[in-house]
Amino acid sequence: MDDAVGEVEALAARDGVVVAVGTNGEIDAYRGSETRVIDLEGRLATPGFTEGHGHFTGIGRSLLNIDLRAARSWDEVVEIIRAEAAEREPGDWILGWGWHQEKWDTPVAPAVEGYPVHDALSAAVPDNPVLLKHAAGSHAGIVNARVLDIAGIDDSTPDPPGGTILRHPDGRATGVLRETAYSLALRAYDDAMDRLDNVELERFARREIELANEECLTKGVTTMHDAGSSFDDVERFRRMYDEGRLDVRLWVMLNESNEELAKKMASFRTVGAAGGHLTVRAIKRVADGALGTHGAWLLEPYEDHDSVGLPTTPVESLRETARLAREHDYQLCIHAIGDRANREVLDVFEEAYAGDADLRWRIEHAQHLSLDDIPRFGELGVIASMQGVHCTSDAPWVPRRLGDRRAEEGAYVWRKLMESGATIVNGTDAPVEDVDPIANFISTVTRRDRHGNVFYGDQAMTRMESLASMTTNAAYAAFEEDTQGKLIPGMLADIVVLSQDILTVDENALAATRVEHTIVGGKLLYSAE
Ligand SMILES: [Zn+2]
């Protein structure tokens, strides 16, 4: 990612830092008796990916809710939950989602109305309450005997009004609950969560972080720009780094009120703590809602709704946050999706910058912009923190919301922003989308949605631009360009090895790219099977 160096054959790293790059022959000289050598066999190594806008603990939380969509039979579902229970404490609730009996290869037996019954699940997992949501509706699922017990559902419980306790012909509950009957199980879960003590809450919070860490490493993510954590989260991250249980580098945006920030932000500011892993020098605020829910704040009404959306935070409050950010030397990152929200935030930033060129404040999403505002990113030096994969996810319905003209002029306009001189950092907003840099890379270079349609392809990035948006640009957007984003001597040895060259392989083959190795600070932390 450095023009002066270009592409090389090999690199050497020591003590977590790249010490040399060059030909295989040149780098051979760095080989010692203790050196670990990884032969790439022609594969591509790039700087480790930075996820430019993700919710770190949210990723862990979503992974605790087990995805059962890929299961091919009820037996497989039971097996997945049995394996999960082995990892958990007895009594912990296990949640899953996405099972569908019609999608299984083997018809389920025994069955009632085609649905599985809880017996095998209850036998496999007797000590943990299990609640598995059905794929078709948000309000149906199957639970094990433990949940029936806790929710007080037995053979003589009548169906609640508006719900069904699905039963065997002899009246025994199958474990399948519909509508208000399902609510009984959900209420039992909520009650259990309300009763957790601080020790248990801490255990869950740490588990979420461990799962998020593992997920990031698996996907080749070595740094995450964490889009909103609390002071408590930050303290927990720090403890887990100290204990060696957290590897991914975190650049954290604090998500706290102005009042709390004013009290604590000075003492929480830190750059490169925990051996270069933890940086806290940014604040997250939210100016508006989302386009999908007509919540994004627009200059003109929606095409399909008689409103302009709305601000979620008074602009005056954002101005106060800007003042605090300047006072304590923090970056300010404000979520803005609609063109009105983006304009208001740019106004707040312009006032706060007061001619000062290098604050690197960021607009998170910058999804829909007025033509008049696009050049302001480059002129002011405001970072556009965008999500390539949101463009391709949203493409099928964005023109309905905005109309074709506005969608073409200002929605996800990466190239127009780059041409204005703006820096774009790319992310996935995980867990909203999968924290997968390859999928995001593909969206950014193709703008092709799931139906195969291209969303205003003239705004696509080149492959190098896309890679830069996850490496060098991301480092710049975090004031970390002296240590991250390039593989040249002096930089951190954060490296991802990919199964093929994503810069040259045929576009149709990109999706087959696998992460082979993930290295953080010279430590090999993930390798594909
Ligand atoms: Zn977000």
| In a shared domain, residues 255 and 304 | yes
- Could you tell me which of 258, 233, 385, 237 has the C-alpha nearest to residue 330? 258
pLDDT, tens digit (0-9, with 9 covering 90-100), for 407-444:
999 999 999 999 999 999 999 999 999 999 999 999 99
Ligand 1 centroid vs 432 CA: distance in angstroms?
8
Ligand 1 centroid vs 183 CA: distance in angstroms?
29
| In a shared domain, residues 275 and 400 | yes
| In a shared domain, residues 165 and 249 | no
- Could you tell me which of 72, 76, 193 has the C-alpha nearest to residue 129? 193
Lowest-confidence segment of 134-138, 370-374, 407-411 by average pLDDT: 134-138
| In a shared domain, residues 247 and 189 | no
425 within a domain of the structure (yes/no):
yes
| In a shared domain, residues 304 and 377 | yes
40 within a domain of the structure (yes/no):
no
How many domains does the chain divide into? 2
92 within a domain of the structure (yes/no):
yes
128 within a domain of the structure (yes/no):
yes
| In a shared domain, residues 393 and 495 | yes
pLDDT, tens digit (0-9, with 9 covering 90-100), for 461-474:
999 999 999 999 99
Ligand 1 centroid vs 62 CA: distance in angstroms?
14
Ligand 1 centroid vs 480 CA: distance in angstroms?
21
Cα 442 from Cα 141, distance rounded (Å): 35
Ligand 1 centroid vs 122 CA: distance in angstroms?
37
CATH number of the domain where residue 283 is located: 3.20.20.140
| In a shared domain, residues 367 and 474 | yes
90 within a domain of the structure (yes/no):
yes
| In a shared domain, residues 318 and 415 | yes
| In a shared domain, residues 174 and 246 | no
Ligand 1 centroid vs 334 CA: distance in angstroms?
10
pTM over 0.75: yes
DSSP code string of 425-449: EE---TTSS---HHHHHHHHHH-B-
505 within a domain of the structure (yes/no):
yes
Terminal-residue alpha carbon distance, the chain: 28
* HEC assignment per residue over 495-518: EEEECCCCCCCCHHHHHHCCEEEE
| In a shared domain, residues 190 and 224 | no
Q: Which domain holds residue 417?
A: 219-479+487-525
475 within a domain of the structure (yes/no):
yes
CATH number of the domain where residue 116 is located: 3.10.310.70
| In a shared domain, residues 225 and 121 | no
Q: Say what the pLDDT of residue 137 is.
A: 66
Cα 422 from Cα 202, distance rounded (Å): 41
- Could you tell me which of 224, 208, 66, 47 has the C-alpha nearest to residue 130? 66
Share of the chain above pLDDT 90, in %: 95
Ligand 1 centroid vs 182 CA: distance in angstroms?
30
Ligand 1 centroid vs 296 CA: distance in angstroms?
14
Contact between 522 and 493 under an 8 Å Cβ cutoff? The reply is yes
pLDDT, tens digit (0-9, with 9 covering 90-100), for 329-345:
999 999 999 999 999 99
Ligand 1 centroid vs 429 CA: distance in angstroms?
5
Ligand 1 centroid vs 318 CA: distance in angstroms?
17
Contact between 394 and 291 under an 8 Å Cβ cutoff? The reply is yes
Q: Report the pLDDT averaged over residues 175-200.
A: 94
75 within a domain of the structure (yes/no):
yes
| In a shared domain, residues 445 and 357 | yes
